[in-house]
Every structure is written in C-alpha cells, then in structure tokens.
A and B are shown apart, each in its own frame.
Chain A
Amino acid sequence: MHGTGIQSFGAYLPRLRLERAAIVEAMGWAAGLRAGKQQGARSYCAWDEDALTMAVEAARDCLTGHDRSGVASLVFASTTHPFADRCNAGVVAEALDLAQRLRTSDGAGHQRAGVSALLDALRNARIDGQPTLVVAAERRVARAGSEQEARFGHGATAVLVGGGPELAAEYVAEASLRADFVDHFRSADAEYDYAYEERWIRDEGYLALMPRAIQAALGSIDARDVKYLLVQGPQRFASAVAKAVGIRAESVPPDLHAECGDLGVAHPLLLLGAALEKAQGGDLIVLAGFGQGCDVVVLRATGRAPSAGHGASGSLAAGVPNREYARFLANCGLVDVDWGIRAERDNRTAQPAAWRHHRDVTAFFGGQCRACGTVQFPLARACVNPGCRAFDTQDPVQLAEKLGRVKTYTEDWLAVTRSPPHVYGNVELEGGGNVFIEFTDVRPGEVSVGQPVRFVFRVKDFDGVRGFRRYFWKATPVRN
C-alpha cells in the first residue's frame, strides 16, 4: 500500500523582475522608503499575464512528464482571479486540455487558500486515491510607494497531489485552526489591501495562533525533527514561530523576498517546491498557511525530485531584473497610458463563435489530416495541403506543447499593444504546419528568422467596454 502525497511540483514566475531600488528611486520622495531596506527584485506580470495565465504555465510545468488525462480534479486558488463569476479553474483546465469528467473549482477569499486547497486535495487523495492538481496564482496590485508594492510579487505554483510509488513527499499529518484575525483585508469592491501594524500581526496573529496549529499537527512528533518550517509571511515571523514551537532556527529557509517577493496565495507552495528540491529522503516538512486562521500540513520528503520541469529554482532563475518602474506601473494598470485612437477598436467577443472554437483557441488545437498527415491551424473542413484538400479528414491535434521555428516576423510600431513594438509572425511547427501568431516576452532585436520558439498561454485582448478578456497562445523564444 502506497501513501498519498505530492507527485509533482511546478512553478511559473514572470520574466519581469523589478529591482526594488527602482521603487525607492521613483517613490522614495513620497513614501520615505529607504534604499538600504529595499534589496533584491520583485516579479511582475507582463501586460498580457494575469493570475490565470500564470496558473496555466505553472500547471504545465507541474505536469511535465505526467499523464494529463489522469487528473481527476483541479483547484485554482487565488485572491486575484480575473473573473469573479466564471470558473477560472475551468479556463485553466481547458487550456491544459484536461479530461472532460474533471472536477473544477476556484479557491478564493483569503491568503491561506493555496495551503487550504493542498490540504483538501490530500484529504481527497486519501479517500479515493485520485490525483488533484492544485494551482495557486496571484497578481496583487498595490498603491504606488506602499510597503506592499515592494513586498508583493506575481507568480504561480502548482502541485499534483495523489497516490502511488513515485511521490516526492508523503502526507504525514494536518491541522486547522480558524480565527477571524484581520491582519489585512480587501473588500469585494476594493482595488488594494488595507493592512495593519506588523508588530501586532506578529504577536497576536502568528505567535498566538500558528504554534497551536503546528503543535496540533505534529502531535507526538518531536519539533526538533522538523527539517523545514515553511511559513506564509516574512522570514522573521517564521523564525519567531519556529522558536515558539521548538523547531530549529536553521529549519527556516529563506523567504525568497529578494528573488521574487511575496506571491500571496501561491507563496507557501513555492517555499514547498524549493524545499522539496533540496530535501533528503525522510526529511520532515511543516507547511503553514496563514489567513484568518491556519492550515498546517506535515509531509515527509522521499528524496525523489519534485519536478521534471523548471520547478522552483528554474523559475526563480529565469528572471530578467530591470528598473522600468513606469512599465511596472503600466502593467499593473496604475497609470493611464495613452495608447492612441487605434486602441479604441472594439474587442467584443462573439461568445457563440468562441464556444464553437474553444478547443482550437483555448487549448490551441489544430487539425491533422488522416489522408495525408498534414498538421494545420486552424482545423478546417478541408485539408490545407494543396496536394490533398480532402473534406472531413482532420483529427484534433494539440499544438500548444509543440516547438516551432520563426519563419517570418516583424516588430510593428504602429499596431496597438501595451508593450510596443507589437511582434508577430509566421511560425513553422515542428512536424509541419504554419501558424500566424503574436510573440510575447520579446524586446526589439530579440527575434530572428529560424529561431526556435515555444508557445505560452496569454491574454490576447482586453475588452474594456465589457470588462472581458480573451486568451490565446503566443510564441516566445526558447530560452535556457
């Protein structure tokens, strides 16, 4: 009998990392930020990224080498879902082309939602052994010059929970504790968090609540045997909690503030992924989520690698530090940039057409002709191969995971984009097929004919009139 636990871990952090020194430079005059206290960089979304697109990328990373069809349930935890009433997890599932029988749900409403979803997934796995994909993503926006602006980061994590012989970590124990302790809040119609004094949060929140939950979870386990204490929140809080519980100080790993900032709901799982990459077989891990109470999960590492993809370390390393504070503000929607009259184009979505083509567009499927083998996008009634042109011979084929090569491209300074120039072109797919597609995460001069590209899930267009956004895939250079 195998245990249940974590089969795989994945992460995604946007390439863009704003050096905190740039925030001090721009906003220090107003906010009294001190350069010495603002080290490192924070991750932030490109204009075409949101919690949902990052969730898809983290999930792809997590599912590298795993059978997607076996996933039975998907939970998407975030406090910044792009849709308040539309199943965000459903879009993630569609983009990943997961099974139709999949259970989907969004976990929302508090910072603990990522750990809570993991705890529930572990419970479900113990009941029926079926795998659950837990994804957590966050794109919180804070006021210019605020403490949160410097502290927050944008990013996503994903954990595949289930049973079987190849777990990276096994479930040991859990505990929960409820407490309507309001360290910060964001009301339903607010754009920003409203936060309270840190010393009070530490003393009455973390130190009064979390040790009780951790001790309940550990039960008879000796706290000194814990190798990793992963606590949602600043490292100094984690250290204080460790001391209170009797966990060794060296068991509290760095909080990744310098590398990416606080990813909110996604952050505890990022700490978990980073810990699993280092953990030896048998190491005890305590993961503690915080937000109007605590959820605590105790796991035992098996020593197996948690990720066949980029994982935590790969995603942390893939950042490009920059000091473009104005771009950061624009991407966060905090400055009203003039994109010109051309940007007034109505991006209304014809939902009946979008539904007819949902697999083509959201999951990026094309067609493959049974008569001649030609792969094509989009799938059509008649084959595009001039030597074939047969009717109704195409089977759906997933293109999202294929690589391609740049056949043609341009850097268009006239076209509307929130990151000029608009780069797009024709990409030749591996194994044949041509797709005319936008590029993303490229700066002028970065694209060339023949360059290898892969595809990423992004916001295609915003419909500002109706508050809708639509998604499609874009090409981006294959980077090591």
Chain B
Amino acid sequence: MASGIRDKVAIVGMGCSRFGERWDCSADDLMVEAFTEAVADAGIERDRIEAAWLGVFYQDQSVSRSGLPLSFALRLPNVPVTRVENLCATGTEALRGAVYAVAAGAVDIALAFGVEKLKDTGFAGLPERTKGTFEDLWQPGFTPPGAFAQLGAAYAARHGHPMADVKRAMAHVSWKSHENAVSSPKAHLRNRITIEQALAAPMVAYPLGLFDCCGVSDGAACAIVTTPAIAASLGKRDMVTVKALALAPSNGVEMGHSSWDGSHTLTSRLAAERAFREAGITKPTEQVNLMEVHDCFSITELVLMEDLGFSQPGRAVHDVLDGRYDRTGAVPCQTDGGLKCFGHPVGASGLRMAYEIYTQLLGRAGERQLASPSIGLTHNLGGIPNRNVASVSVLGLHRG
C-alpha cells in the first residue's frame, strides 16, 4: 500500500510574474521575473536546486521543445530539467514532478516551473494548432470557448434551468473574479465590471459572451519544493505543505459513450475524490477555505462547483447567485481574479493558482487576504469537456 505524498513535501518559495500582454518581454524575461522572486522567497542559492520540471503547452509559440529553455534562461548548473505537458494541467503537472522527486527522496530541492508566451501570434485568442493526423479528419474545428460552451446548453437542459438564469449566474462568476482582481496586483485585467455589462456583451460562442471568457496573457510562475525538515532548516516556521496532487485524464467516455450527458466534467469529479482522500478531507465544504479552479470560461467554474462537491447537483446556479463563492462567501473562489483576470498562459496557470493559495495561507495577500485560511485547493481542466485532463491539488498550512 502506497503511503502517498501527504505532507511529505513543503513549498519554500514561490514566484509569479505579472500576467498580461507583455509585448516587451520574451519567455526568458518572464521566467527570470518569476524565478528571482521564488529564490528570494525560499532564501536559497540557485545552485541548491537539484532538478527542475518545466511546463509549457504551446512549445513552438512560447519557447521551444525540451527542458532546455529553462536551463538556458536561468543558467542552471546543468541539473536535470524535464519538460512536461498535459494540456491546461501542465503547470500542475510540473509541480507534481518536482514534488514526487522530493517525496521519493531522489533530490532534496526541486523546482517546478510553468511559462507561456501566448501574445506573439499577432492575433486574438489562442494559437491554432493541429489536433492530430486522424482527429483533424473528423473532429469539429472548435475553439476553446465553443468547446466549453457545450456545457451551457447541456447543463441548462439537464437541470431544467432557463438559460437566462444560467447566464446570470455565469455573469456573477465573472463579476466576482473582476471584483477580486482589483486588489490583485499581478492580474492582467484589474477593472471592475457590472453584471449587466457581462450579460450584454457580444456573443463569442453561445451561451458564452465576451465576459464569460478568460483573457489571453503571457505569464510565468514557479515553486521551489523540499522536505519539511530542510524547510525548517532554512528557517521556515509557518509552512505550506502539499497534501494531495491528483490527476484524472479522460479515457474516451465523454467523446464516445452515451453515459456522459455533456453537462459536467467527469474527470474533475474523479480527481477531486482522489485528492480529498489523499489529503484526508472528508467534508470539503467545511474544510477547504479557498480555491482556485479552472475558470477558463464562466460556465466551467459554474459546473465545477458541483463537480468538486461544493454545490449539490443543479444548485450551483443558486449558490453562485447567493454569493457563496464570492470573497466574502463560505468558500471563496478565485480570490486573485482567476483565469478570468489573469488570463491563461497555459503552462503557468496551475502554478499561478498554487501561488495564490500559498500567498493566502501565509497571510501575504494584502488587501485581498482572507481571515486565516489553512486549506486551499487548485483545480485545472485541460483540453475540452469531450477529452480532458483534470488535476486537483490540496495545499495546507502548518503553523510553526
């Protein structure tokens, strides 16, 4: 019986670049920006890092292939760098690699990195890419908003909600994230919006309007991880440890089997179950104090509240409108503004989410600081509802 990773690894330093349209920055600049913050936070020399994991999704757009871009940008002393990619869970996958290496005892200190330079395409939205030689022959020429918009019609039909109610809850999701981003200095979009503005926005992919979609940004984020013992030796008192890192990829059911009704994300449910089990969380709604979920689109966040077990099936619309996931609600969600306001530089997002949990748990969140949270959750949903990778991680605070 595996003993798992719960509390075996501590995060001793994190860094996050400012996210946005960083026209004047290359991926290297973003990596150095995040890394400088992380090593200073950890209080270690760069050369104490023994291995690194680099998460990049759009390799040819952002940097290039392999782990070399990180090794070059940071001039690491030829330590192993492994490049990982697992759709939008890429950043979390990098963290998983580094955490596993420390938990396994292979290295003492490891670096998890995520970076993405999306704004060099010269056009709005995500870069176009092939889906694969066979998939291109039959899969719809979808866009991310269109693929996730599928959840909207199916969710409304499944639970008998009028689309107007679902749209209003979706607008609330985005409104709430913009409210939070006002006091989130590294966010891309820091303006307030109104519910009415969101509802009246031009349609991107029915039922998703402009404000139901997250931004497209450049950004980088990273974490330095080690054992709790080494963390203590570095002088860390309050310590953030990793309680669970769970991953659940689709196996084709959503793409080809009738059992999936299209109104939820199957894999998020599985990843959440696994993560809660590993973290020892039995009552998520009471034990989890904040979360950063994959709000690539407002409808995604809405259905995730049910998939992750925070709302009863069909009730997320009401819970959202009741303010349950606002900063002042029972389980604050996207306290930094989420993907909605940070944008989604794919490789960096999972680590950017962890950065917010880490920051909140250590009480460093400034104006947006919550009252003494001790457990936080991050969630990514990579791909599209038809085929995806879900990750759920749970981070906890140990007061020294």
Residue of B with least CB distance to A414: B143
Task: Kindly provide the distance from the CB of B311 to the nearest chain A CB, expressed in whole angstroms.
Answer: 20
> A304 contacts the other chain (Cβ, under 8 Å)?
no
A342-B125, A349-B137 are known contacts. Are A434 and B151 too (CB-CB below 8 A)? no
Bound form: Cα–Cα A361–B203 in Å: 32
A409-B150, A449-B157 are known contacts. Are A415 and B143 too (CB-CB below 8 A)? yes
Task: Kindly provide the distance from the CB of B385 to the nearest chain A CB, expressed in whole angstroms.
Answer: 8
In the bound complex, residues from chain B placing their C-beta under 8 Å from that of A434 are: 254-258, 260
- Is the pair B137, A449 in contact by a Cβ cutoff of 8 Å? no
Task: Kindly provide the distance from the CB of B253 to the nearest chain A CB, expressed in whole angstroms.
Answer: 6
Give 25 pairs: A residue, B residue, CB < 8 Å, sorted on A: A378-B138, A408-B262, A408-B263, A410-B152, A410-B153, A411-B205, A412-B145, A413-B202, A414-B204, A414-B205, A415-B146, A417-B141, A421-B205, A422-B140, A422-B142, A424-B146, A425-B150, A426-B154, A433-B257, A436-B140, A437-B138, A449-B153, A449-B154, A460-B138, A470-B137
- Among the stretches B12-20, B128-136, B353-361, the one at the interface with A is B128-136
Task: Kindly provide the distance from the CB of B373 to the nearest chain A CB, expressed in whole angstroms.
Answer: 36
Q: Mark A424-436, 1 if CB is under 8 A from B, else 0.
A: 1110100011111
- Is the pair A384, B153 in contact by a Cβ cutoff of 8 Å? no
Bound form: Cα–Cα A360–B137 in Å: 10
- Is the pair B255, A436 in contact by a Cβ cutoff of 8 Å? yes
In the bound complex, residues from chain B placing their C-beta under 8 Å from that of A415 are: 141-143, 146, 205
In the bound complex, residues from chain B placing their C-beta under 8 Å from that of A412 are: 142-143, 145-146, 149, 204-206
> A340 contacts the other chain (Cβ, under 8 Å)?
yes
> A132 contacts the other chain (Cβ, under 8 Å)?
no
> A385 contacts the other chain (Cβ, under 8 Å)?
yes
> B123 contacts the other chain (Cβ, under 8 Å)?
yes
- Is the pair A410, B258 in contact by a Cβ cutoff of 8 Å? no
- Is the pair B256, A377 in contact by a Cβ cutoff of 8 Å? yes
A340-B123, A424-B142, A434-B256 are known contacts. Are A410 and B150 too (CB-CB below 8 A)? yes
Residue of B with least CB distance to A431: B258
- Give residues of chain B (201-231) contacting chain A, Cβ–Cβ below 8 Å: 202-208
Q: Mark A329-369, 1 if CB is under 8 A from B, else 0.
A: 00000000000111011110110011011001100000000
- Is the pair B150, A384 in contact by a Cβ cutoff of 8 Å? no
The chain B residues found within 8 Å of chain A, CB to CB, are: 121-123, 125, 128, 130, 133-134, 136-143, 145-147, 149-154, 156-157, 202-208, 251-263, 385-386
> A94 contacts the other chain (Cβ, under 8 Å)?
no
* Extra inter-chain contacts (13) besides given A380-B252, A434-B258, CB under 8 Å: A341-B123, A361-B138, A380-B256, A408-B154, A411-B203, A412-B205, A414-B143, A415-B141, A417-B141, A421-B206, A436-B140, A438-B140, A449-B156
Bound form: Cα–Cα A417–B255 in Å: 22
Task: Kindly provide the distance from the CB of B166 to the nearest chain A CB, expressed in whole angstroms.
Answer: 12
Task: Kindly provide the distance from the CB of B249 to the nearest chain A CB, expressed in whole angstroms.
Answer: 14
State the main secondary structure of chain B at its contact with A. Answer: loop
Bound form: Cα–Cα A448–B207 in Å: 12
In the bound complex, residues from chain A placing their C-beta under 8 Å from that of B146 are: 410, 412, 414-415, 422, 424
Of A342, A433, A435, A438, which contacts B123 at CB under 8 A? A342
Task: Kindly provide the distance from the CB of B205 to the nearest chain A CB, expressed in whole angstroms.
Answer: 4
Task: Kindly provide the distance from the CB of A158 to the nearest chain B CB, expressed in whole angstroms.
Answer: 25
- Is the pair B139, A407 in contact by a Cβ cutoff of 8 Å? no
- Is the pair A436, B139 in contact by a Cβ cutoff of 8 Å? yes
Bound form: Cα–Cα A384–B157 in Å: 25
In the bound complex, residues from chain A placing their C-beta under 8 Å from that of B125 are: 342, 414
- Is the pair A376, B134 in contact by a Cβ cutoff of 8 Å? no
A353-B133, A414-B146, A449-B157 are known contacts. Are A437 and B257 too (CB-CB below 8 A)? no
In the bound complex, residues from chain B placing their C-beta under 8 Å from that of A424 are: 140-142, 146
- Is the pair B137, A354 in contact by a Cβ cutoff of 8 Å? yes
Residue of B with least CB distance to A429: B258
Of B137, B206, B258, B263, which contacts A432 at CB under 8 A? B258
Bound form: Cα–Cα A178–B352 in Å: 78
In the bound complex, residues from chain A placing their C-beta under 8 Å from that of B386 are: 426, 436
- Is the pair A433, B153 in contact by a Cβ cutoff of 8 Å? no
In the bound complex, residues from chain A placing their C-beta under 8 Å from that of B149 are: 410, 412
> A223 contacts the other chain (Cβ, under 8 Å)?
no
> A472 contacts the other chain (Cβ, under 8 Å)?
yes
In the bound complex, residues from chain B placing their C-beta under 8 Å from that of A448 are: 153
> A386 contacts the other chain (Cβ, under 8 Å)?
yes
Bound form: Cα–Cα A15–B77 in Å: 66
- Give residues of chain A (421-480) contacting chain B, Cβ–Cβ below 8 Å: 421-422, 424-426, 428, 432-438, 444, 448-450, 460-461, 470, 472
Q: Mark A385-423, 1 if CB is under 8 A from B, else 0.
A: 110000000000000000000011111111111000110
- Is the pair B262, A411 in contact by a Cβ cutoff of 8 Å? no
Task: Kindly provide the distance from the CB of B273 to the nearest chain A CB, expressed in whole angstroms.
Answer: 15
In the bound complex, residues from chain A placing their C-beta under 8 Å from that of B133 are: 350, 353-354
In the bound complex, residues from chain A placing their C-beta under 8 Å from that of B123 are: 340-342
In the bound complex, residues from chain B placing their C-beta under 8 Å from that of A411 are: 203, 205-206
Residue of A with least CB distance to B128: A345
Task: Kindly provide the distance from the CB of A233 to the nearest chain B CB, expressed in whole angstroms.
Answer: 41
Task: Kindly provide the distance from the CB of B150 to the nearest chain A CB, expressed in whole angstroms.
Answer: 4
Task: Kindly provide the distance from the CB of B251 to the nearest chain A CB, expressed in whole angstroms.
Answer: 8
Task: Kindly provide the distance from the CB of A368 to the nearest chain B CB, expressed in whole angstroms.
Answer: 12
- Is the pair A408, B153 in contact by a Cβ cutoff of 8 Å? yes
In the bound complex, residues from chain B placing their C-beta under 8 Å from that of A345 are: 128
> A374 contacts the other chain (Cβ, under 8 Å)?
yes
Task: Kindly provide the distance from the CB of A189 to the nearest chain B CB, expressed in whole angstroms.
Answer: 30
In the bound complex, residues from chain A placing their C-beta under 8 Å from that of B252 are: 376, 380, 384
Task: Kindly provide the distance from the CB of A345 to the nearest chain B CB, expressed in whole angstroms.
Answer: 4
Of B134, B203, B261, which contacts A407 at CB under 8 A? B261
Bound form: Cα–Cα A40–B328 in Å: 65
In the bound complex, residues from chain A placing their C-beta under 8 Å from that of B142 are: 412, 415, 422, 424
In the bound complex, residues from chain B placing their C-beta under 8 Å from that of A377 are: 256
A340-B123, A409-B150 are known contacts. Are A385 and B204 too (CB-CB below 8 A)? no
In the bound complex, residues from chain B placing their C-beta under 8 Å from that of A437 are: 138, 140
Bound form: Cα–Cα A395–B253 in Å: 18
- Is the pair B206, A341 in contact by a Cβ cutoff of 8 Å? no
Of A342, A350, A444, A470, which contacts B128 at CB under 8 A? A342
A412-B205, A436-B386 are known contacts. Are A422 and B153 too (CB-CB below 8 A)? no
- Is the pair B257, A450 in contact by a Cβ cutoff of 8 Å? no
- Is the pair B257, A385 in contact by a Cβ cutoff of 8 Å? yes
Bound form: Cα–Cα A279–B252 in Å: 53
A350-B133, A412-B145 are known contacts. Are A428 and B253 too (CB-CB below 8 A)? no
Of B122, B208, B255, which contacts A341 at CB under 8 A? B122
In the bound complex, residues from chain B placing their C-beta under 8 Å from that of A384 are: 251-253, 255-257
Task: Kindly provide the distance from the CB of A478 to the nearest chain B CB, expressed in whole angstroms.
Answer: 18
Bound form: Cα–Cα A410–B171 in Å: 18
In the bound complex, residues from chain B placing their C-beta under 8 Å from that of A470 are: 137
Task: Kindly provide the distance from the CB of A404 to the nearest chain B CB, expressed in whole angstroms.
Answer: 11
